């Protein structure tokens, strides 16, 4: 998917159905580098299942969310993947603007048998915003799963319910069991796909995690959430707080201006940029090319 027409079609599907699955949307050296670096962050499926009781493997046992690592990630290659040019282009097509923000990002590892990964159908807006869903695309959150490993049906792909199926459902409850809304489960779609697949869904879209049934297997993914810059009431992670993390500076130092704008850095020409602030930015991030922010005065 390289043309503007294909991106427009994907964005239209997201707005209409609340999701779109793009098989193999990310590939090439950026994906390969991120996959290589997973070995420095998580045990492989073989290593985990060879000794699931090891102390190093305990965080993954008994808790479906135990394999989550919040942004910034332990390697630059993994951090860079969630601000890949193709993801930015997709978000720009969805929201109809280049004025975007990243408001959350995580890595996630799941291992068969380590925890129960089957979920009820639920919507994410309740822990992304204090408000309620809007039909206006500017006020919806765009969530993206990036499969870092192949995720066939027996590796626990996300299942998603098209918005037309759930039209008119009240703002609460948060989720529905199969016995409560069997129609959701009857009409759900699988987001299974090869590594590099991007699953784009909206914060008002019902979806659920499914069980990993393949023996001695694992699923690795990255998750990133984008919003329109004007949607200031949607958020999950505060980058000011995360900027104290030791993995933050290595990411910032090599990032482009466009990527840093996604995290709230003021754009070039903003009155924030003076000789003093540009000079001090270089002190905080040695090696950062600050030429993209010429002093405004």
Per-domain residue ranges for the chain?
4-238
In angstroms, the CA 245 to CA 270 distance is 26
Asked whether the whole model's pTM tops 0.85, one would answer yes
In angstroms, the CA 114 to CA 66 distance is 10
Q: Which of 41, 93, 31 is nearest to 228 (CA)?
A: 93
Q: What is the pLDDT of residue 244?
A: 94
Could you report the per-residue pLDDT of 224-259, keeping only the tens digit for each? 999 999 999 999 999 999 999 999 999 999 999 999
> CATH number of the domain at 4-238, please?
2.60.120.620
Q: What is the pLDDT of residue 158?
A: 98
Could you report the per-residue pLDDT of 62-91, keeping only the tens digit for each? 999 999 999 999 999 999 999 999 999 999
Residues of the chain with pLDDT under 70: 1-3, 297
Q: Which of 128, 14, 213, 204 is nearest to 6 (CA)?
A: 14
CA angle 92, 93, 98 (to 5 degrees): 25
Residue pair 148/257 in contact (Cβ under 8 Å)? The answer is no
């Amino acid at each position: 998917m390289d043309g503007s027409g294909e991106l427009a079609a994907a964005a239209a599907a997201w707005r209409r159905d609340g999701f779109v699955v793009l098989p193999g949307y990310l590939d090439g050296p950026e994906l390969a580098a991120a996959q290589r670096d997973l070995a420095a962050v998580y045990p492989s499926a073989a290593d985990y299942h060879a000794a699931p009781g090891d102390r190093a493997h305990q965080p993954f046992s008994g808790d479906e969310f135990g394999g989550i690592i919040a942004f910034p990630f332990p390697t630059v290659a993994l951090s860079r993947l969630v601000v890949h040019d193709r993801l930015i282009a997709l978000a720009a097509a969805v929201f109809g603007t280049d004025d975007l923000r990243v408001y959350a990002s995580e890595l996630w590892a799941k291992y068969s048998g380590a925890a129960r990964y089957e979920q009820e159908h639920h919507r994410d807006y309740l822990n992304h915003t204090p408000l309620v869903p809007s039909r206006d695309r500017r006020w919806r959150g765009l969530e993206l799963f990036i499969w870092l490993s192949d995720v066939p049906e027996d590796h626990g792909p996300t299942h998603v319910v098209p918005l037309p199926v759930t039209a008119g459902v009240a703002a609460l409850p948060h989720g529905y069991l199969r016995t409560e809304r069997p129609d959701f489960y009857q009409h759900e779609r699988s987001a299974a796909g090869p590594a590099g697949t991007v699953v784009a869904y909206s914060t008002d879209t019902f979806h659920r995690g499914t069980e990993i049934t393949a023996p001695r297997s694992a699923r690795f993914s990255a998750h990133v959430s984008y919003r329109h810059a004007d949607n200031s009431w949607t958020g999950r992670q505060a980058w000011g707080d995360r900027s104290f993390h030791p993995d933050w500076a290595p990411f910032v130092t090599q990032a482009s201006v466009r990527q840093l704008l996604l995290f709230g850095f003021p754009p070039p020409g903003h009155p924030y940029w003076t000789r003093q602030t540009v000079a001090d930015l270089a002190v905080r991030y040695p090696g950062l090319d600050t030429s993209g922010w010429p002093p405004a005065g």
